[in-house]
Structure 1
């Protein structure tokens, strides 16, 4: 049984509520009563991720179609389960309140894997930047998530640069390394980033699929950036 089937069945059992706080309280209770071990952890993580992503989309006051498309890319939900999962997303996106609680739950589950938390932050930046600009309230949201995730200032600024700066497509900005760096140092830096980000490492640890997709997207951008730099030196 897939994680989405388990989650959908759980959501279908919940009473009709209009306040997200009550909805989440019911989910937390049911998760504890229904599941155990790794399944409980995976369902709890997925619920927290959906709620956090929904609140990120709402951070500037409006959930745009571009943001919804990014969310669909991150969470590939089977058609049969989509209605119940959408119920959670739509309730969570009503307001931003409580986003820090979901960020804290995610951080607590992955204190030993800062690279994965950085991938999640990168995915949240993708949502914020999907309409072409990261608004002040979105940036404040992301800064607080970064603090909760204990993302270093350098790592946060590299992620910010990849999504916000006018030169965000610059391969050196994507890799977070200065122009003029020796090619050997660039290669070592690139290989370290790939080692931290590679989806195979996450799959081997049983990480939920949405995090693997975030890592896959980030890895593609790192690979593309390094290939462009290699071509520069080959000229």
Structure 2
């Protein structure tokens, strides 16, 4: 069963009530592939790392563990884990169709993360080393965690403090995080409109935020921002990083939303 690829789409579809899955689910729903599930349970021998780095399945395993443990920490960081958060974690696993050892692995990671004495340092250090030059993976990790943090509709001070720590550990600057944060908020708001037409339901302000530019940006800078975002998610570049084939589908999902936002802005500006 290809369960791992359902991780983020299921998590976000649950944790945010569904609509935001149009963005975050698309952003990371295909992040993990069969190699991860097999590596987790010894069904597939991991390929040898290239140039002394972490193997592909190794990166996926590290990402999986860090993702669920950090989710657990986010659920606990405000104090007691609420019944809604417990139900959320359970539903994520249901959506992923996790059973047996697979489900137990996810539960253990989540429960470890919510323990007061559990230190995320090792996971974050391993994740930083594993994704090394792949800044797109750090961005995706933060996008996934933001989707969890916004389960209650807001980002608390304690959650913000944890995100500051995550950013420091992964080498993500405050400016970069605010850019990611604003785009996630914009995409969640846009998806939450549940309009029958994707672009029509996307407010102009949110479209600008998704593109990471202000409304008064000139046409040349707008096009430059659009091209930069599209380039960051180009399938060929993802392949060059040694990522799973499922990442190609991820890139298409992510670039589609960027394209929608760009088309919406251009239409509003009277451009053909």
**What is the TM-score of this pair, normalised by structure 2?**
0.62
Pairing partner for 2:107 from 82, 87, 90:
87
Contact 1:67 1:127 in 2 (8 A): no
Q: Work out whether 1:175 is the aligned partner of 2:195.
A: no
Q: What value does the CA root-mean-square deviation take over the aligned residues?
A: 3.7
Deviations, residues 111-159 of structure 1 (Å, cap 9, x unaligned):
2122321222122111111321111111111111111111122211112
Distance 2:92 2:180 in 1: 18
- Closer, same or farther: CA 78–219 of 1 in aligned 2, 3 Å: farther
Corresponding residue for residue 49 of structure 1? 67
**What is the TM-score of this pair, normalised by structure 1?**
0.70
Deviations, residues 137-195 of structure 1 (Å, cap 9, x unaligned):
11111111111111122211112223458x96521122221111112221111110121
Any residues of structure 2 matched to 1:145-156 within 5 Å, and which? 145-156=166-177
Any residues of structure 2 matched to 1:58-69 within 5 Å, and which? 58-61=76-79, 62=81, 64=85, 68=89
Any residues of structure 2 matched to 1:76-155 within 5 Å, and which? 76=96, 79=99, 81-95=101-115, 97-155=118-176
Structure 1 residue 71 displacement after superposition: 5.4
Question: Relative contact order (alpha carbons < 8 A, sep ≥ 6): 1 or 2 greater?
Answer: 2
Contact 1:158 1:176 in 2 (8 A): yes
Contact 1:175 1:222 in 2 (8 A): yes
Tell me the number of residue pairs that the alignment of Structure 1 and Structure 2 aligns: 210
Q: Work out whether 1:6 is the aligned partner of 2:39.
A: yes
Runs of 5+ unmatched residues, structure 1: 11-33
